[in-house]
Structures are given as structure tokens and as C-alpha cells.
Amino acid sequence: MNAKLGHTLRHPRISRGQVLAAILCAGLGFALVVQVRVHARGENLESARPADLVLILDNVTEESRRLSDELRELEAARQRLTFGSDRSRAALEQTTKLGHTLGILAGTLPAQGPGIELTIDDPGGQLQAHDLLNALQELRDAGAEVVQVNGVRVIASTHFVDDGQGRITVDGTSMSSPYAFTAIGDPATLASALQIPGGVFSNLRDHDAQPQLAQHRMLRIDAVVPGPTVPSPVVTQQSESPQ
């Protein structure tokens, strides 16, 4: 029995139902993201200038296109798992893909793709943690899938803190100007979101900071966070009873 338990722990079986549940959770997350983003973009539109509205509309249109593509991919995966002729193979492929995606989101795997590099020079040291957090949040709202700041991988629990000595710490790592954000996502959408009038760039310049932006067809983020340590199962071999 112990040997069977060890084999199960080393080779967990993932059922098609579990994969379907994961896809449904992803779809729920998609709906929540759409709702939050629409609400956020709808704030203060009455006071926006026509030029601002054009930029916001372009950004929202691009986000809508990207989210629609994600929804179609999820629906196609659900169809393969539910009605496909080789559902076991489809489940295995989807599980592998899901595991890789979760590893990237958790920050335990490197990632690559198109994106932007944002460098913020703060010669006067006026920026505070919330200014960098605002830049990160704008990138996330614009669809950034993976972000790295000065060599620190950003994950869901990442925090920005003023250390009281003129420096900003990110997940406990002390940083100083220039601050370098590397973000993977649609370059045009990310760039547009950062430069919306009254947004991130305007705030940085109000603090005499100088942002520089570069779009790239391919970027690689190698910074990772340690993954959870899973102890190996100990299998004890029962000795035979003496005759």
C-alpha cells in the first residue's frame, strides 16, 4: 500500500473534470478582469479632452480584441475536452499548457514575448513607492502578462515599500534610480496606456522624473521566484515475516 501511495504522489493523475474546472476558473477570471477594467476606464471620462478620449478608446479597443482572443482559446479548449475524439490526449495537452501558464503567473518560470521596457530616471529622488506601484498597475490593466522591476520578478504578492531612507524596496530588495520595468504584453497597448494624458507619464514628470519607453518584438524575463519545495515521498519496504 505504501508503495502505491508513493507512486501516486510522484505521478498524480489529473482527470478531465479537473482540467475542465481549471478552464472554467480561467473563464471566470476573464469575466472579472473585463468587469474591473471597464469600470476603471469609465471613471472621469466626462472631464477628459477629445484627444484623451481617442487614446483611451484605442486602448480599450485593443484590450477588447486581446480578451476576445483569450475567450475564443478557452472555448476551443473546452470543446476539445468535451466533444473531441481524443479527449485524453486533449486533456494532457491542456494540463501541460495550464501548468506552464500557472508557472509563469506564479513567477517560477522564465517568460518571453513582445513587450516594452520602461526606464524611469529620478535624479531628485522624489518618487515614492506608490508612484512605481501606479506604473505597475497601469501595465497590468493594459494586459501585461509578466513584469520584472530592476531584476525582481513581479507576482501577485509583490509589494512596494518606502524604506524611510530615500529608497524603495520591492519584495525586500532595495532599489534606486533608474527604475527599469520590463513587461511582456502587446507593446502598442502597453505604450499607449502609459502615455494617456493625466496618467503614468504625466505623474512621473510632475515629480521631475524622466520616463523613457522602448517597444520590442521579443523580450525575455529570466528573473524567477523560488517555487514551493515538495518533499519526496518516503516509501518504506516492509520486511517479510520470518517463517
Tell me: the pLDDT tens digits for 167-204?
999 999 999 999 999 999 999 999 999 998 888 999 99
123 lies in some domain: yes
116 with 66, same domain: the answer is no
228 lies in some domain: no
Dihedral angle over CA of 220, 29, 191, 101, nearest 10: 10
99 with 163, same domain: the answer is no
| Nearest-angstrom CA–CA distance, 211 and 119 | 6
Number of domains in the chain: 2
Of the listed ranges 79-88, 112-121, 201-210, 212-221, the least confidently predicted one is 79-88
Does residue 130 carry a pLDDT above 70? yes
38 lies in some domain: yes
Indicate the pLDDT class of residue 34, thresholds 50, 70 and 90.
very low
92 with 143, same domain: the answer is no
The whole-number pLDDT of residue 12 equals 46
Residue of higher predicted confidence among 134 and 82? 134
Does residue 46 carry a pLDDT above 90? no
Q: Strands of 152-154's sheet, edge to edge?
A: 152-154, 146-149, 179-184, 111-121, 210-221
18 lies in some domain: yes
55 lies in some domain: yes
184 lies in some domain: yes
Residue of higher predicted confidence among 110 and 228? 110
Containing domain of residue 160, as a range? 111-221
